[in-house]
Amino acid sequence: MTNFTRPTIIRRARVIDKILAVKYGPKSLVRRSEPTSELICTILSQNTNDINRDKAFAGLRRRFPSWRDVAGARPNEIAKAIKVGGLSKIKSARIKNILSQIAEKSSDLTLSFLESMPDNEIWDYLISFKGVGPKTASCVLLFSLGRHAMPVDTHVHRVGRRLGLIPEKLNPEKAHHWFLQLNLPLNIYQLHINMIWHGRQLCRPRNPKCPPCPLKKMCLYYRQNPPQEKGREIKRLVI
Ligand code: SF4
Write the secondary structure of 13-81 as one string of H (helix), E (strand) and C (coil): HHHHHHHHHHHHCCCCCCCCCCHHHHHHHHHHCCCCCHHHHHHHHHHHHHHCCCHHHHHHCCHHHHHHH
Superfamily of domain 35-144: Hypothetical protein; domain 2 (1.10.340.30)
CA nearest to 220, candidates 7, 23, 16: 16
% of the chain with per-residue pLDDT over 70: 94
Pick the CATH number of 6-28+151-230 from 1.10.1670.10, 3.40.50.1970, 1.10.260.40, 3.30.70.2660: 1.10.1670.10
CA nearest to 238, candidates 19, 62, 1: 19
Residue among 135, 174, 216, 230 flagged as catalytic: 135
pLDDT < 50 stretches in the chain? 1, 231, 233
Residue 107, sorted as left (phi over 0), alpha (psi -120 to 50) or beta, turns out to be alpha
CA of 186 to the centre of ligand 1 (A): 21
**Cβ–Cβ under 8 Å, residues 44 and 60:** yes
pLDDT digits (tens, 9 = 90+) for 120-140: 999 999 999 998 999 999 999
Sign of CA dihedral 87, 61, 112, 192: positive
Q: What is the CA radius of gyration of the chain?
A: 20
The rounded distance, in Å, linking the Cα atoms of 81 and 95 is: 12
The rounded distance, in Å, linking the Cα atoms of 23 and 198 is: 9
Sketch the domain layout of the chain as residue ranges.
Answer: 6-28+151-230, 35-144
Comparing 6-28+151-230 with 35-144, is the CATH topology the same? Answer: no
Based on the residue annotation, tell me whether 135 is a catalytic residue of this protein.
yes
Ligand 1 pocket test, pick from 16, 213, 233 with the greatest ligand atom count within 8 Å of Cβ, gives 213
Ligand 1 pocket test, pick from 19, 194, 204, 216 with the greatest ligand atom count within 8 Å of Cβ, gives 216
The rounded distance, in Å, linking the Cα atoms of 1 and 201 is: 25
The rounded distance, in Å, linking the Cα atoms of 72 and 77 is: 10
Is residue 189 in contact with ligand 1, taking CB distance under 6 Å?
no
pLDDT digits (tens, 9 = 90+) for 175-208: 999 999 999 999 999 999 999 999 999 999 999 9
For residue 228, what pLDDT is reported?
67
Name the CA dihedral angle for 46, 47, 49, 52, rounded to a multiple of 10 degrees: -80
Query: Half-sphere exposure of residue 223, counting CA atoms within 13 Å on the CB side?
Result: 14
What's the residue count for the chain? 239
For residue 232, what pLDDT is reported?
53
C-alpha of 86 from chain center: 22
Is residue 216 in contact with ligand 1, taking CB distance under 6 Å?
yes
Residue type, 4: F
